[in-house]
A and B are shown apart, each in its own frame.
Chain A
Amino acid sequence: MKKEPQNEWSGKSRGGASGYLIFVFIIRRAGLGAAYALLSLVALYFIPFAPRATASAWQFSRHILKKGKFASALFVYRNFLNLGISLIDKTAASAGEDKKFTFEFDEPENVSEILAGNSGAVIIGAHFGNWEVGAPYFGKYGKKMRVVMMDAEYQSIKKVLQAQNRLDAFSPIPITDDSFSHIFEIRDSLGRGEYVAMQGDRLTPNGKSSEIIFMGKPALFPLGPFVLAARFGYPVIFYFAVRKGLRKYRFHFSLYEPLKRDSGVKPETDILNAYTAYLETVVAKSPEQWYNFYKFWL
């Protein structure tokens, strides 16, 4: 039997398309409040029935955040609950109910200038908060957002979008195991002045990694997004959307500023270091909104 690697993500997320569609149905028929109410029970269900994710959230709380056992039990529940809320809110916002939400922006001037210009940009986010809820915001600049993701993850999303007749609303760049075509798609997309969004905090099968001290302990980060960002020479923006309350989100942006030349640090390592430093600050403030449910730390 093939042993599943411990420190990487399989490319498949828990909770299938059917479960997702049930929530879409409830949001449409009974509203967001009813969806949240059902979620409070579903989050409880996942604690025993998603043991790997539960163990991962528990370890994060106990060994990284140094919380006690009772606080960690609460943390695990809140972690699952927050993930569910982010999925519900994302679904509602993309289904035209975005006016029910409040969005705040932490967008420095140098980021606004990049986004308003003609150049493509690499946007690196994380499995944190609810970055997708802000995707429509990027549309105000009249550019297309291309999301790089594992093909298995895309196939799951595709079923939901097909059921909603919204396949055109999403423009991914899928990564398959046996093809390098995503590299060329990313390059061409940036060349057309589009935004290419990648997540920088999850190790994928067979992916190269770099060991970083993250929140006090060593962890492996994927090198792929940072190599791509470094080589193609487009502006790199770190982007995170944090839930600040009921139907309220704050978008954080930061433009990556390269170190001086001749520093001896590889460009991809420099971007990765800047990214993990920024991610560390946002995760430390809202750890229950980080959704990396696998053995992340070494």
Chain B
Amino acid sequence: MIDAALIDKINNVLAEEFEVDIQKITPEAPLMDTLDLDSLDLVDMVVLIEHNFGFTVVAKDFIGIKSFNDFYHFINNRINEKGAPK
């Protein structure tokens, strides 16, 4: 079970960074298409995760992340693994 506060934080950070209507961010929505991400936006995503969630990502972390729900689980798991601040 993922903390609702963490999901809210993720949604707010993503909506602000990628200038997307937060209403469009739903657990089943496709991450890349909804945020309209390309390879350069991925740089922003990498920096955003490091600054907001306190851990470093590597290329393989993004494999398998299709929806926002996948992304929530990825962030949640990494925070729990590393004990990083929420």
Given A179-B59, A184-B58, A184-B59, check contact A232 B40 (CB 8 Å): no
State in angstroms the CA–CA spacing of A179 and B62 once bound together: 11
Q: Is A90 an interface residue (CB 8 A)?
A: no
The interface bits of chain A over 128-171 (1 if a CB of B lies within 8 angstroms of the residue's CB, else 0) are 00000000000000000000000000000000000000000000
Q: Tell which of B43, B47, B58 has the most Cβ of chain A within 10 Å.
A: B43
Query: Do B43 and A228 touch (CB < 8 A)?
Result: yes
Pick from A180, A224, A231: contact of B47, CB below 8 A: A231
Given A179-B59, A181-B59, A184-B59, check contact A227 B46 (CB 8 Å): no
State in angstroms the CA–CA spacing of A232 and B44 once bound together: 9
Closest to B38 in A: A208
Count, A-B residue pairs, CB within 8 A: 30
Q: Is B2 an interface residue (CB 8 A)?
A: no
Query: Do A231 and B59 touch (CB < 8 A)?
Result: no
List CB contacts (< 8 Å) of A30-67 with chain B.
none
How many chain A residues touch B (CB < 8 A): the figure is 13
State in angstroms the CA–CA spacing of A180 and B39 once bound together: 7
Given A231-B47, A232-B47, check contact A183 B42 (CB 8 Å): yes
CB of B12 to closest CB in A, whole Å: 20
State in angstroms the CA–CA spacing of A187 and B44 once bound together: 12
The interface bits of chain A over 230-262 (1 if a CB of B lies within 8 angstroms of the residue's CB, else 0) are 011000000000000000000000000000000
Query: Do A180 and B42 touch (CB < 8 A)?
Result: yes
The interface bits of chain B over 29-55 (1 if a CB of A lies within 8 angstroms of the residue's CB, else 0) are 000000000111011101100000000
User: Could you tell me the dominant secondary structure of chain A's interface residues?
Assistant: helix
Query: Which of chain B's residues have a CB closer than 8 A to the CB of A223?
Result: 40
State in angstroms the CA–CA spacing of A184 and B46 once bound together: 9
Query: Which of chain B's residues have a CB closer than 8 A to the CB of A179?
Result: 59
Closest to A181 in B: B59
Pick from B43, B57, B58, B62: contact of A227, CB below 8 A: B43
Query: Which of chain B's residues have a CB closer than 8 A to the CB of A224?
Result: 39-40
The interface bits of chain B over 5-43 (1 if a CB of A lies within 8 angstroms of the residue's CB, else 0) are 000000000000000000000000000000000111011
Query: Which of chain B's residues have a CB closer than 8 A to the CB of A183?
Result: 39, 42-43, 46, 59
CB of A296 to closest CB in B, whole Å: 21
Query: Which of chain A's residues have a CB closer than 8 A to the CB of B58?
Result: 184
Q: Tell which of A179, A184, A208, A223 has the most Cβ of chain B within 10 Å.
A: A184
Query: Do B40 and A227 touch (CB < 8 A)?
Result: yes
The interface bits of chain A over 174-203 (1 if a CB of B lies within 8 angstroms of the residue's CB, else 0) are 000001110110010000000000000000
Query: Do A208 and B59 touch (CB < 8 A)?
Result: no
Query: Which of chain B's residues have a CB closer than 8 A to the CB of A232?
Result: 43, 47
Given A184-B58, A208-B38, 17 additional A-B pairs, CB 8 A? A179-B59, A180-B39, A180-B42, A180-B62, A183-B39, A183-B43, A183-B46, A184-B46, A184-B57, A184-B59, A187-B46, A223-B40, A228-B43, A231-B44, A231-B46, A232-B43, A232-B47
Interface residues of B (CB under 8 A from A): 38-40, 42-44, 46-47, 57-59, 62
Interface residues of A (CB under 8 A from B): 179-181, 183-184, 187, 208, 223-224, 227-228, 231-232
12 CB < 8 A contacts A-B:
A179-B59, A180-B59, A180-B62, A183-B42, A183-B46, A183-B59, A184-B58, A187-B46, A208-B40, A224-B40, A228-B43, A231-B47
